[in-house]
Structure 1
Amino acid sequence: MAAMSLQQLKAAVTNVPPATRALTAAIIVTSTLGLLINYSKDPETESRHVPLIGLVPGYAFTFPWTFVTACLYENNIAAFLVSVIATLLGGKYLERIWGSRELVKFCLVTAVIPNFLTWLTFIVPFYLTGSDEFLYGYQINGMTGILASFLVAFRYLIPEHLVQVFGGTVSIRVKNLLGMLTASTIVALIIFQTLVVYNLVNLGWVVAWAYIRFFKWQDGVQGDRSETFALYTFFPDFLHSPIKAISSIVWGIFVALKLCKPDPPSWSYDLEGQPSTSRSTPGPLPGSARAEAERRRALALKALDMRLSTKHVPSPTGSPAPAAYPLSGSSQASTEAKNAVLFDAGENIEPSGGDEDTVAIGISANDDDKDPST
């Protein structure tokens, strides 16, 4: 049993992609270096902070590289173990889907920006109160911001996937993990005054959402404006209206600053879902979500036509019955739904940001209403 476990551990480590392996190694090296520096200090007369690696607000301009290295530095063993394991598992999954370059970019964005914003939450109170405690009494460090961003990426890719813990006795949907983490940071802030962790987690997931929503390129399309990934879906129902208003303001600011391109004009469709050819109602923009949905719908209908044209029903007299006419509308959708084949999400199926943990092989009449990025 021990030999088998060792082999499994060795296989897991050797199968880690390069960017994830480098990120994990950086966490180990940086945290070990910080431990050695702290070990050489006198705990009674010297601070336990490591301004060469961790981001101490008062030393940020002296050591500006700490805006990056701070996320790699864990100063307690429990956080260190969680960060290493979560980085190995989460980074490995994301790197195989997005690629090494995109994973590194994602980690940099969700590390530097939350660190900078958290630094501001200490600088502003210092200028308001003049207390040096905000400059030298806190140290910003840890992978919590990046780990929260990983949960946003999983919610985008596999929201309905089940994570089993405690030997399978408890199952949690991926889309609920971020809410549980956020709630735990609120409790920890009230009880233990963990202001740094609270800021890193909540700023980290918001930055990750904004990056995937507006800036990340995938299949030649920037961002994902699908309704299932809207910001208000991360909050309880009673907060949807104010969150929608806030997100609209943020979107307008991004467009005004030319950080994002404005939405393309809306397009009109006839009752059959086909693009109009009139000048007043032009067809869909090439490469848009609607155009991709139409392309998939056309391929599906062509495949269905081929199947129905080759299928003959024997008549009682022995002569072949006429070929079945193609179904249309909801009749076609219901017929194909009965014959759909479902595969479990645990198989090697590439996720696409949808809301189901199974993949249906069939034809849907409403396929053109779905966003291809989900």
Structure 2
Amino acid sequence: MVVSVRFCYWKFCHTECHCSLGGSFLTGYTRLCKGLAVILVLGFAFIQILPSAVDYLALIPSRTIPFAWNLFTAGYIEQTIPGVLLSTIGLLVFGKLLEPLWGSKEFLKFIIVVNLLTSVCIFVTAILLYYFTTQENYLYTPLSGFHGVLSGFLVGVKQILPDQELNFLKIKAKWLPSLVAVVSIAASFFTTEAMSYLPAILFGMYASWTYLRYFQKRPETGLKGDPSDEFSYSGFFPDFLRPVLDPVASVFDKIFCGRSRNQSAESRDQALDGSPLPGSDLVEAARRRERGARALEQRLAAEKNIKVPDTTSHDNASDNV
């Protein structure tokens, strides 16, 4: 019953949201996204005017100590025209989708956290590669770009709209991070440019999943993370690999949760008003996504003066299950 209600609701959201997004593609961007887009453009322009600034703003592992600020600044510095165009457009498009659901404060926090964790992972990886290969290019190559955060946005879309189908690819949104990862890995075998982007893309996905899975505070429940099975580590891979990967996921739970799943399950069984919530983590995650998608649809409909049908009955139906 819950599954059928959820399916009908997502089909409705897909139809209506597609029209709204198409009709207002050039409007509706928030101040935060516009401001961050300006930072990306100005950062690119600055290093074109003053090329030596790359040595201080990009991530160069050999200079990170003592110039530790490049762990923060590297993610906002694009060195190529295609890079700044892709990052700016991606930021505006994903921001239009995710910021209304997360809120401006959480959206900015997500960007800062994912950018920093991605840079730290790249730094550690470069040091290890130099240690094992003694190739100095791992220490002196300037690395920068917003693509780590962009790949993190894909994980956010997977969490919020997992069942939304992308018409141009004929796949569901939940497989988008995996598809981008596979394509990036394959491209890295043919071009050195793709190889330079690969670490940020993969680490950006992992950092964003870790943050969303274990640390992001959910305002509707007051709890942290997303414990649903569909957002587990093995959920990024085909189903036949899950028996192998689920034990790996349990290691992540032990590292990041710090408490048993039984304790967290008891907490999740209490709503904000203290009443028990019927159902499992999967049902709770489905309801959360339904509320989030409805909020986004109502905002987009308000921009286009489209009347959105009342979906309260869908929530009541799922709550009674």
Fold-level similarity (TM above 0.5): yes
Shift of 1:212: 1.0
Residues 1:285 and 1:105: Cα distance change in structure 2 (over 3 Å): same
2:165 aligns with 162
* Superposed counterparts of 1:1-374, under 5 Å: 15-38=28-51, 50-136=54-140, 138-165=141-168, 171-193=170-192, 194-218=194-218, 219=220, 220-255=222-257, 260-265=258-263, 285-287=269-271, 291-293=276-278, 348-349=297-298, 361-362=313-314, 367=319
* Distance (Å, rounded) in 2 between the aligned partners of 1:347 and 1:109: 24
The total of aligned residue pairs comes to 272
Q: Which amino acid aligns with 2:278?
A: A
Structure 2: segments with no counterpart, 5+ residues: 1-20, 280-292, 300-310
Whole-angstrom CA distance in 1 between matches of 2:125 and 2:201: 14
TM-score (norm 1): 0.64
Q: TM-score, normalised by structure 2?
A: 0.74
Query: Unmatched 5+ residue regions in structure 1?
Result: 1-7, 42-48, 268-281, 295-343, 351-358, 370-374
Q: Between Structure 1 and Structure 2, whose CA radius of gyration is higher?
A: 1
Return closer, same or farther for 1:133/1:266 CA change in 2, 3 Å cut-off.
Answer: closer
Structure 1 runs (4+) deviating above 4 angstroms are 11-14, 282-285, 344-347, 362-369
Structure with greater helix percent:
2
Distance 1:116 1:162 in 2: 34
| 1:97-130 alpha-carbon deviations (Å, 9 max, x no partner) | 1111101110111111111111111111223343
How much does 1:290 deviate?
9.4
Percent of aligned pairs sharing the same letter: 24
How far residue 181 of structure 1 moved from its aligned partner, in angstroms, is 0.8
Q: Alpha carbon RMSD of aligned pairs, Å?
A: 3.3
Question: Bigger relative contact order, structure 1 or 2, given CA contacts below 8 A and separation 6+?
Answer: 2
CA spacing shift, 1:284–1:236, aligned 2, 3 Å? closer
For residues 334-354 of structure 1, the C-alpha deviation after alignment (integer angstroms, 9 at most, x for no partner) is: xxxxxxxxxx9898258xxxx
Q: 3-state DSSP class of the match of 2:166?
A: strand
* 1:264-320 per-position Cα deviation (integer Å, ceiling 9, x unaligned): 3498xxxxxxxxxxxxxx9984239992237xxxxxxxxxxxxxxxxxxxxxxxxxx
